[in-house]
């Protein structure tokens, strides 16, 4: 039985830091409020984060790919920032040689 004070999907929480441990298979996202970090449990990570699943903990991790808005993993982008082209998981100002963008999409294809 999850303590009533914990937020949805949370198994263990504290008043100061929100959720410390999520229910199995949910992702924990650490939100920063000034100097405080607050844990939140999610079924999918917000834009700009990707979910890393491990046997003991699932965590939302920031995409660290240049000019990337949404990503599949640490080194594979699924959506680039405005005006940039997506090619094999990376963002470019123009498509590499031999690749173009069909009918107005922002993804390079051969």
Partner 1 sequence: APCPTPCRCDGDGGADCSGKGLPAVPAGLSAFTYYLDISMNNITELPASVFRNLPYLEELRLAGNDLAFIHPEALSGLQHLKVLMLQNNQLKTVPSKALKGLHALQSLRLDANHITVVPEDSFEGLLQLRHLWLDDNSLMEVPVAPLSNLPSLQALTLALNRISHIPDSAFANLSSLVVLHLHNNKIKEIGEHCFNGLENLETLDLNYNNLLEFPEAIKALPNLKELGFHSNNIAVIPDGAFSQNPLLRAIHLYDNPLSFVGSTAFRNLSELHSLIVRGASMVLRFPDLNGTENLESLTLTGTKIDTIPASLCEDLKLLRTLDLSYNEIEELPSFQGCTKLEEITLQHNRIKGIQADVFRGLASLRLLDLSRNQIRSIHKDAFMSLTSLTNLDLSSNALLTLPTSGLGGLNQLKLAGNMDMKGSLSAKDLQKLRTLSVPYAYQCCAFGGCDAYLNTNPDQGSKSDGSRKKIMYSPGEEVCEGSVAEDEGERIQLAVHCSPPTGAFKPCEHLLGSWM
Residues contacting residue 57 through CB under 8 Å, at least 6 positions apart: 28
Half-sphere exposure of 96 (CA within 13 A, CB side): 8
Least distance to partner 1, CB of residue 106, Å: 12
Nearest to 38 by CA among 59, 15, 57: 15
Comparing CB distances to partner 1, the nearer of 17 and 46 is 46
The CB density around residue 70, as the number of other CB atoms within 10 Å, is: 16
Least distance to partner 1, CB of residue 79, Å: 10
Q: Report the alpha-carbon distance of residue 10 to residue 77 in Å, rounded.
A: 29
Comparing CB distances to partner 1, the nearer of 30 and 52 is 52
Least distance to partner 1, CB of residue 94, Å: 19
Q: Report the alpha-carbon distance of residue 87 to residue 107 in Å, rounded.
A: 6
Least distance to partner 1, CB of residue 8, Å: 6
- Residues lying near partner 1 in the complex (CB under 8 A) are found at 8-9, 25-26, 43-44, 51, 53-55, 72-73, 75-76, 78, 88-89
Comparing CB distances to partner 1, the nearer of 67 and 73 is 73
């Amino acid at each position: 039985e999850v303590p009533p004070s914990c937020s949805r999907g949370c198994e263990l929480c504290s008043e100061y830091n929100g959720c410390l441990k999520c229910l199995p298979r949910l992702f924990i996202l650490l939100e920063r409020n000034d100097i405080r970090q607050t844990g939140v449990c999610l079924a999918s990570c917000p834009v700009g984060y990707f979910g890393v699943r491990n046997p003991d903990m699932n965590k939302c991790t920031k995409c660290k790919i240049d000019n990337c808005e949404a990503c599949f993993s640490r080194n594979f982008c699924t959506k680039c920032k405005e005006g940039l082209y997506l090619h094999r998981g990376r963002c470019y100002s123009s498509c590499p040689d031999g690749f173009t963008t069909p009918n107005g999409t922002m993804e390079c294809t051969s």
